[in-house]
Structure 1
Amino acid sequence: MCQLFIQSDSSLWGSKTRSLRINGMVTSIRLERFFWGVLEEIAVRDDMTATQLITKLYLESLDAEHDMGNFTSFLRVCCSRYLSLAADGVLNRDGIEPIATLDAQQLLDQEQQQLNQRQLKPVSIHRDLQ
């Protein structure tokens, strides 16, 4: 099982720091290259750069009164949720539809249904006894 992860391209977990300006303030964000790639994919869907997407996420999060004390974790979760929604078939990664045009509430409801179904499924643990 672990070979799937261990043999992957090691550059994916290498960190990359980018400097950007949010509301006139210069800041740096350090993320793994894998997450930068996902952020770029999401941004392209809405005809933005990753920097523009990050700025938009930050400002909208502040407007929603979220604590942005660990913004890089928030970005990782955004990327993971995007990929999870795509894996569950709730969101298409083809990039044709901009994220801004999607029915966010419907996607959130579908995501919650998927999470509920996962929690209801019995967990089967198979251990190799050697």
Structure 2
Amino acid sequence: MTNSKERIPLFRIQNSVCHQKDKFWHNQCIVGGEPMCHVFAGQEPERYASHTRRLRLNGQSTSIRLENSFWQILDQIAMTEGVTTPVFISTLHSEVLQLRGEPSNFTSLLRCACLKFMEMSPDHHAASIAAE
């Protein structure tokens, strides 16, 4: 069992040589037993396709463009909080205004909020324990 403060690497470098048409490399990143290109680059394009949603922030109509994966996480956060996604985003914006003033890049803040939510989720904790 590892120390709880010890980090388990997300991926490891495997020495290998690949000679495919128009491709050549000596090292390959391995993630969970799979080559990185299968794990990261092989994801469905729909996950990283962008989508724009219109909503109101402090009474002002605006639009926010995010990748579909982030919208799914924001929908999940809102559902967890028992509100709609626009209400959650508007509340978050209001709280940020009170704490720090107008954010310079609110969509980046939303993406980081999604990452924070994923870090805090029990599933994320269970996955890190399973990796030990």
Query: TM-score higher than 0.5 here?
Result: yes
Question: Which structure would you say has the larger Rg?
Answer: 2
User: What do residues 16-71 of structure 1 show as CA deviations (whole Å, max 9, x unaligned)?
Assistant: 00111112111110000000000000000111111111000000000112441100
Q: Unaligned regions of 5+ residues in structure 2, if any? A: 1-35, 127-132
Distance (Å, rounded) in 2 between the aligned partners of 1:39 and 1:58: 13
TM-score by length of 2: 0.64
1:50 alignment partner AA:
T
Structure with the bigger percentage of strand:
2
* Partner residue, 1:88: 125
Higher relative contact order (CA 8 A, sep 6+): 1
SS at match of 2:116: helix
SS at match of 2:43: coil
Q: Unaligned regions of 5+ residues in structure 1, if any? A: 90-130
Distance (Å, rounded) in 2 between the aligned partners of 1:30 and 1:39: 13
> What is the number of residues matched between the two proteins?
89
Q: Please report the RMSD computed on the Cα atoms of aligned residues, expressed in angstroms.
A: 1.2
SS at match of 1:26: strand
Moved over 2 A (4+): none
**Which runs of structure 2 are paired with 1:94-105 in the superposition (5 Å)?**
none
